[in-house]
Amino acid sequence: MKIQRVRGTRDVYPEDMVVRNWLVEAWRRVSIRNGFVEFDGPMIEYLDLYRAKSGEELVGELFTINSRGGEELGIRPEMTPTLARMINARVHSLPRPIKWFSLGAVYRGERPQRGRMREFLQWNIDIVGVDELVADAESIFVAVDLMREVGLTPEDVVVWINDRRLMGALFDALGIPEERHGRAYALVDRSEKMERAQLAAAWNGDLGDAVSFDRFEPLLALDSLAALRSCKEPVLAQGEVADRVRVLDSLFMLLQDFGITEFCDFNMKIVRGLAYYTGCVYEAFDRKGELRAILGGGRYDNLLEALGGPSVSGVGFGMGDAVLGELLAELGRLPSGEPRVDVYLVAADDEATSTVLQLAAELRGRGVGADFGYRRQAVGKQFKAAAARGAVRCVVVGAETRERSSVTVKDMATGKQAEMPVAGFLDDPMAPVT
């Protein structure tokens, strides 16, 4: 019986692992240089943690487990609930601000499709305990910093930004009752995935008695800060709505200070589907708009309190590897997936085998990747094996090693080779070959 891998998962072969490690190292490098510290948590949590955070809607998308003791458990679909639980456990002893990041696998029990996996890696950045708008701006900066780190430009990607408080104030000003704000948010969030007629029918059916879709549609179409500022719709100048627009202006001033406004713009359609967001929200997309969101996040001021902790604000985002990997592959920005070895040792004759093993052990002890062939082969075949392993240097061990304590070192990229003393080679195995 031939068993296939589970749909929505990936077999990560060595060449794929090279690319994965490259991305994970970039995530970690960017996190640390922006002042974040790494944490991790369990792969399974009590299902009530996810219920408290996002309700039954999210629970329906999870892989769940019933333990032998009857406990309802969920395999983690994201890291934010675990983050909140862990911070709540030590909230009075943790110094502020709390700037944490995590890297790990998450699981979603949903139908796989392009850019949506059942299992993927996710990078999370969170700032907890800071009410000031600069934390929102910094979280967006970190996201952009990563995108620049992997070679993406403002021509490739855009971070769309909105504010849930602006939308709430706008719904109020338009006459939508607060108890129906959730439906309004949901329709705005799904608006890009619906045909215009379908969206209009859904809006008018649920909210048309408060405000018609024809009235709301011009506002929904605002997709830049310039369009927001120049819009003559009177409702944007009213009370709380105008205050929230000024907050957005302040946020973009901070983004200008960070030097990333070319990556960022306003978009009324960005509200994030999860109800726990309370302020600034943002998502990054490819400029062509062909892929799913590269990342998404925002401010969540009530989450810790909802999970039994104090009222402490937070802001952050999550980025998966699936969509980002697709985009980088399409743009030709991924590194070569060929596994590499620093030094490949070639035994020129039978007598060289013992020395090859000794040199391999010595190089590995010095932190240099070293490999060799297991069976005796002609020198030419060993060079081919070295090339297949992506070796940077090829070192020939033979009669000169026994007679003069030297080896022949070949640079596999340039083809240059030179004989050098074994001791000198070991002092600097990756020195240029001249």
Per-residue model confidence (pLDDT) at position 37: 98
> Which tens digit of pLDDT belongs to each residue from 113-151?
777 889 999 999 999 999 999 999 999 999 999 999 999
Per-residue model confidence (pLDDT) at position 98: 97
Which fold is adopted by the domain 343-427?
Rossmann fold (3.40.50)
For residue 72, which phi and psi values (nearest 5 degrees)? Answer: -90, 115
- Burial class of 163 by CB neighbour count within 10 A (0 to 12, 13 to 18, 19+): buried
- Burial class of 93 by CB neighbour count within 10 A (0 to 12, 13 to 18, 19+): exposed
> Which tens digit of pLDDT belongs to each residue from 179-217?
999 999 999 999 988 999 999 999 999 999 999 999 999
Per-residue model confidence (pLDDT) at position 53: 64
> Which tens digit of pLDDT belongs to each residue from 256-306?
999 999 999 999 999 987 677 899 999 999 999 999 999 999 999 988 888
Which fold is adopted by the domain 14-41+79-331?
BirA Bifunctional Protein; domain 2 (3.30.930)
For residue 347, which phi and psi values (nearest 5 degrees)? Answer: -90, 115
Per-residue model confidence (pLDDT) at position 56: 60
Contact indicator for 152, 319 with CB cutoff of 8 Å: no
Q: Does residue 432 have a cis peptide bond before it, meaning omega lies within 30 degrees of 0?
A: no
- Predicted TM-score of the model (pTM): 0.91
Beta strand pairing call for 157-163 and 264-266: parallel
Mean pLDDT score of the chain, rounded to an integer? 93
Per-residue model confidence (pLDDT) at position 58: 64
**Domain limits of the chain?**
14-41+79-331, 343-427
Q: Does the pLDDT of residue 308 top 90, yes or no?
A: no
Q: Name the nearest CA neighbour of 323 among 185, 121, 172, 131.
A: 121
Per-residue model confidence (pLDDT) at position 31: 98
Per-residue model confidence (pLDDT) at position 111: 81
Q: Does the pLDDT of residue 339 top 90, yes or no?
A: no
> Which tens digit of pLDDT belongs to each residue from 9-63?
999 999 999 999 999 999 999 999 999 999 999 999 999 998 886 656 667 778 9
Beta strand pairing call for 295-299 and 280-286: antiparallel
Q: Name the nearest CA neighbour of 23 among 292, 325, 293, 340.
A: 325
